[in-house]
Amino acid sequence: MNDKHAAARLRTTLVERLRLIGSVRTEAVAHAMSEVPRELFTPGSTSLTEAYRDRVVVLSVDERGLPDSTVSQPAMVALMLEQLAVRPGMRVLEIGTGSGYNAALLATLVGPTGEVVSIEVSAELAGAAARRLAGLGVRVDVRAGDGWEGVADRAPFDRIEATVGVPDLPPAWVEQLAPDGVLVTPMWLRPGLELAIAWERAPDGTLTSVSVTRCGFLQLRGPHAGPGRTHALTGDLAVIGEDLPPAALDVLRELLDHGAVDAGPVLGPVDTRLTGFALAEPRSVLFLGHPGDGTTWGLFDPKLPALAVLMRDRILVYGDRDAAVELYYGVAGAPVVNAERLRVEAVPVGTNFPAAPASAGRSWTVERDHHHYRLTEI
């Protein structure tokens, strides 16, 4: 069997698997994923079998050796295309061209009467993707530049899809969306809470989610990257938190140096309540590496100063012991939140949220520079 046939078989198997796990839901997405040869978008060192695993493939790494561009996991690619609901003839903008694989899928979905524009911050990647797509006869207008600004000279777009995560919606994306358009973007909302959200915009400018799914994405780079939410501490230890300027990180390092006291057991099962805890508590932090085993949650207050962390079924406290009490009650009292059953609304800073219906469930707000977000259980 030659490589082309082998690839076609692997592609069919992958699409069937994605249907079974619920990532592929429509014939349009199944067809696009069955047509576009993913192996032509992965680096030359990737075997055919690897190209068709349901895995992320790294395209490039930064100076620290961490991935800064990847060909996303097929299950996530499919889920986001389902959220986007592209129809033939539409004009679509993609932010984060990477390899060009998703742009090729979008081009298949819009068909010969539609248009795809894709923007990539790395000029090198943009050039390689443009050549790859042109070589395959796929019509995509690839731009090199900062996707934060969108692509104003081709707006408005029926669909906008970001394949890179943001902590806040860039105003340009909202402005460049057609009145009945859909915007899909991965959003970092709290430690451990990153959601791919499909947004629709009401005439009053409020954006409301039409679907929400958990995801994990590389974060936006370039001039609008912001301070980042993941910070290296010492050795292989990193911390993810909402507002951790350098002075707060120094306090954290000092606390860790002084060592912890065992503050006793936590109450009841913890894992299911961490999303609820993170939503209610802006001081929640997530550690990668030790302290604890692997991923550890905690509460860090640089003003006390104190850090309390969950260590399996116990709480360790560094500094002021009040933090242990707050973590204990914060987690014990947190509701079990199903992220997929959240409605998310976004309003530009300076405007109010629409009145919540009387039947609305619990809700939380997250405040960012350009928009405020309200997450409500449905």
Ligand X SMILES: C[S@@+](CC[C@H](N)C(=O)[O-])C[C@H]1O[C@@H](n2cnc3c(N)ncnc32)[C@H](O)[C@@H]1O
Q: With CB under 6 A as the contact rule, which of the stretches 218-226, 232-240, 285-293, 310-318 interacts with ligand X?
A: 218-226
125 binds ligand X (CB under 6 A): yes
Rounded to a whole number of angstroms, the minimum distance from the CB of residue 156 to ligand X is: 19
Enumerate the β-bridge partners of residue 3: none
- Check if the beta carbon of residue 341 is closer than 8 Å to that of residue 377: yes
3-state secondary structure 243-256: CCCHHHHHHHHHHH
Q: Tell me: does residue 99 bind ligand X (CB under 6 A).
A: yes
Give the DSSP letter of residue 72.
P
Residue 163 interacts with ligand X (CB under 6 A)? yes
Q: Count of CB atoms within 10 A of residue 133's CB?
A: 25
Q: According to CB under 6 A, which one of 39, 82, 115, 146 is a site residue for ligand X?
A: 146
Contact between 220 and ligand X by CB under 6 A: the answer reads: yes
Site membership for ligand X, residue 120 (CB under 6 A):
yes
With binding defined as CB under 6 A, does residue 119 bind ligand X? yes
Q: By CB under 6 A, is residue 216 in contact with ligand X?
A: no
For ligand X, how many residues bind (rule: CB under 6 A)? 26
Judged by CB under 6 A, the residue of 130, 218, 308, 324 near ligand X is 218
Nearest to 90 by CA among 109, 118, 110, 112: 110
Question: Do 320 and 193 touch, CB atoms closer than 8 A?
Answer: no
**For 72, left (φ over 0), alpha (ψ -120 to 50), or beta?**
beta
Residue 42 makes contact with ligand X by CB under 6 A: no
The full length of the chain comes to: 378
Nearest approach in angstroms of CB 56 to ligand X is 8
Q: Is residue 71 at the binding interface for ligand X, with CB under 6 A as the rule?
A: yes
Residues 74, 105: Cα–Cα separation, whole Å: 11
| Residue 153 and residue 143 in contact, taking contact as beta carbons nearer than 8 Å | no
| Residue 76 φ/ψ, nearest 5 degrees | -70, -40
Q: Which of residues 282-321 bind ligand X (CB under 6 A)?
A: none
**Window contacting ligand X (CB under 6 A); options: 217-225, 250-258, 326-334, 368-376:** 217-225
Query: In the bound complex, what is the minimum distance in angstroms from residue 268's beta carbon to ligand X?
Result: 37
- Residue 101 binds ligand X, judged by CB under 6 A: yes
For residues 82 and 326, which CB has a smaller minimum distance to ligand X in the complex? 82
Of the residues 23, 47, 60, 72, which is catalytic? Answer: 72
182 binds ligand X (CB under 6 A): no
When asked if residue 147 is in the footprint of ligand X (CB under 6 A), the reply is: yes
Q: Is 155 in the site for ligand X (CB under 6 A)?
A: no
Judge whether 97 and 122 are in contact, CB under 8 Å. no
Distance of closest approach, residue 301 Cβ to ligand X, in angstroms: 32
The two three-digit tokens of residue 14, written as one number:
């992958």
> Judging by beta carbons within 10 Å of its beta carbon (0-12, 13-18, 19+), is residue 219 exposed, middle or buried?
middle
275 touching ligand X, by CB under 6 A? no
Q: Is residue 72 annotated as part of the catalytic site, yes or no? A: yes
72 binds ligand X (CB under 6 A): yes
Instruction: Judge whether 261 and 270 are in contact, CB under 8 Å.
Output: no
Task: Report whether 231 contacts 239 (CB < 8 A).
Answer: yes
Handedness of CA 251, 253, 257, 263 (dihedral sign): positive
| Spatial distance between the Cα atoms of 200 and 182, rounded to a whole number of angstroms | 5
CA distance linking residue 42 with residue 10, whole number of Å: 15
Minimum distance between the CB of residue 147 and ligand X, rounded to whole angstroms? 3
Nearer to ligand X, 102 or 211 (CB): 102
Does position 37 bind ligand X by CB under 6 A? no
**Residue 173 within binding range of ligand X, rule CB under 6 A:** no
**55 near 77, Cβ under 8 Å?**
no
> CB under 6 A: which stretch of 28-36, 90-98, 191-199, 282-290 binds ligand X?
90-98
| Distance, CA of 371 to CA of 206 (rounded, Å) | 10
Interaction site with ligand X (CB under 6 A): 68-72, 95-96, 98-99, 101-102, 119-122, 125, 146-148, 163-164, 217-218, 220-222
Active site residues: 72
